[in-house]
């Protein structure tokens, strides 16, 4: 019975986990994955788990301290993610929820859903009214060298991926063209190809580059200009042929609604850690449905596999596994697809690995 599932403690641990491949972007390289692991303990012995991706190790201590301060407000509450979301929305209304506060609350929400799922003995997707089903995934690369990385790209295709994303914009236009044409040659015409500028361009430069790259049959062009510049995104979109993608930096569904109202994108890719967790993802999915906008996920492969099956306009799951090294069973890709596992979100910490990477 989940109705008496009551929170008894909130624990956190800061770690820096290795990545299978470092992610080079136009605005810096992620060499590893700085994470804060959340464990929500309950009176049933069930522990709800999730992780926060701090992007840089300098955020980890602050996140862990914030979680520690939140514990008092959680202990004694019955696990009810929408109730906790409402409670914290009020508590942080005057401060605002962007940044570390929003990241922490969003991931706490995921841990609460995980506890509910484990207590019920179901994967979270069942609690959301859906079924675990294989969701099409794309293999997410950083900046690549078509010669050096040819073997990796070919292995992605062997694993069944039918879509590849690469990051561009770290050099001049000629470099973008060489990279995109080189990767297109390797993957052939039938595999979808997405590119990501990671917010690095100005509007005119983005328009110029996208125009020069539009012959390579791009499925989407991601964050050509700074994420918060919704009008700039709309200007690039109006002047470009390939679909414009953005959303990983939207804070809560309110940002998503504003971006869509501004005409910022053809496709949307909310990040579970910034959109408000699973509770708010469901609301975001409703916004996308009313505007007929395809929705993809960003990072968080485990939890994303639970929310995409109940997203009416689900598009792609981003396969960029940042926590696989500290899980007993990292997520699997089968025939280019990823399927949700349970109970809960289907994550069990590999305690040996966690101890090895704890700060
Ligand atoms: Mg991106």
Using the 8-state DSSP alphabet, how is residue 243 labeled?
P
Question: Per DSSP, what are the bridge partners of residue 295?
Answer: 268, 314
**Does residue 134 sit in helix, strand or coil?**
coil
pLDDT in tens, 37-54: 999 999 999 999 999 999
Say how many Å lie between the CA of residue 3 and the centre of ligand 1: 39
At residue 315, φ and ψ (nearest 5 deg) are -120, -85
Euclidean distance between CA atoms 20 and 36, whole angstroms: 19
Instruction: Specify the DSSP class assigned to residue 129.
Output: T
* C-alpha distances in Å from residue 306, one per residue of 84, 302, 310, 314: 20, 7, 8, 11
Torsion of Cα atoms, 272 then 276 then 278 then 281, to 10°: -80
Answer yes or no: is pLDDT of 2 > 80: no
Give the residue-averaged pLDDT of 77-81: 98
- The pLDDT confidence band at residue 3, using thresholds 50, 70 and 90, is low
What are the structural domain ranges in the chain? 2-121+352-357, 126-350
Phi and psi of 151, rounded to 5°? -60, -45
Handedness of CA 276, 36, 330, 23 (dihedral sign): positive
Predicted local distance difference test score (pLDDT) of residue 26 = 87
**Distance (Å) from CA 161 to ligand 1 centroid:** 18
What DSSP string describes 313-325? TB--EEE--SSGG
- pLDDT the model gives residue 359: 86
Chain mean pLDDT for the chain: 97
Please check the confidence at residue 313 and state whether its pLDDT lies above 60.
yes
pLDDT grade for 4, boundaries at 50, 70 and 90: confident
The three-state secondary structure class of 136 is strand
CB 195 within 8 A of CB 168: yes
**Span 148-164, pLDDT tens digits:** 999 999 999 999 999 99
pLDDT tens by residue, 185-242 = 999 999 999 999 999 999 999 999 999 999 999 999 999 999 999 999 999 999 999 9
Measure 196 CA to ligand 1 centroid, in angstroms.
6
99 in the Ramachandran plot: left (φ > 0), alpha (ψ -120 to 50) or beta? left
275-310 tens-digit pLDDT: 999 999 999 999 999 999 999 999 999 999 999 999
Single pTM value for the model: 0.97
Side-chain half-sphere CA neighbours of 242 within 13 A = 26
- CATH number (3.30.390.10, 3.90.1570.10, 3.40.50.1100, 3.40.630.30) of 2-121+352-357 reads 3.30.390.10
Query: What pLDDT sits at residue 185?
Result: 98
| Ligand 1 centroid from CA 167, angstroms | 8
Which CATH topology does 126-350 take?
TIM Barrel (3.20.20)
**How does DSSP assign 15-44, residue by residue?**
EEEEEEEEEEETTEEEEEEEEEEEEEEETT
List residues with catalytic annotation: 167, 298
Ligand 1: centre distance to CA 222 (Å): 6
Q: In the sheet that 7-25 helps form, which strands lie side by side, from edge to edge?
A: 7-25, 28-42, 47-53
| Percentage above 70 pLDDT, the chain | 99
């Amino acid at each position: 019975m989940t109705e008496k599932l009551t929170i008894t403690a909130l624990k956190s641990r800061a770690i820096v986990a290795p990545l299978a491949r470092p992610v080079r972007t136009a605005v810096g390289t992620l060499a590893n994955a700085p994470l804060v692991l959340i464990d929500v303990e309950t009176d049933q012995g069930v522990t709800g788990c999730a992780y926060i991706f701090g992007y840089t190790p300098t955020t980890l201590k602050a996140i862990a301290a914030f979680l520690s301060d939140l514990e008092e407000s959680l202990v004694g509450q019955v696990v009810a993610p929408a109730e906790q979301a409402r409670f914290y929305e009020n508590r942080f209304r005057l401060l605002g929820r962007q940044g570390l506060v929003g990241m922490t609350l969003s991931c706490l929400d995921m841990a609460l859903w995980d506890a509910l799922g484990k207590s019920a003995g179901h994967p979270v997707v069942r609690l959301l009214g859906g079924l675990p089903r294989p969701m099409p995934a794309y293999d997410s690369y950083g900046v690549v060298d078509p010669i050096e990385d040819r073997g990796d790209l070919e292995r992605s295709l062997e694993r069944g991926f039918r879509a590849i994303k690469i990051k561009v914009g770290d050099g001049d236009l000629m470099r973008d063209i060489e990279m995109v044409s080189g990767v297109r040659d390797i993957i052939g015409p039938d595999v979808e190809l997405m590119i990501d500028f990671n917010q690095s361009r100005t509007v005119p430069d983005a328009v110029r580059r996208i125009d020069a790259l539009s012959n390579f049959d791009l499925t989407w062009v991601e964050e050509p200009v700074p994420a918060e510049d919704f009008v700039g995104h709309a200007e690039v979109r109006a002047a470009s042929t390939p679909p414009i993608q953005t959303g990983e930096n939207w804070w809560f569904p309110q940002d998503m609604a504003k971006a869509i109202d501004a005409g910022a994108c053809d496709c949307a890719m909310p990040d579970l850690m910034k959109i408000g967790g699973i509770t708010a993802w469901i609301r975001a999915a409703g916004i996308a449905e009313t505007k007929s906008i395809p929705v993809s996920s960003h990072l968080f492969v485990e939890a994303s596999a639970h929310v995409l099956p109940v997203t009416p306009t689900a598009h792609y799951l981003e396969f960029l596994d940042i926590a696989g090294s500290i899980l007993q069973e990292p997520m699997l890709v089968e025939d280019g697809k990823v399927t949700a596992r349970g109970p809960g979100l289907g994550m069990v910490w590999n305690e040996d690995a966690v101890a090895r990477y704890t700060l």
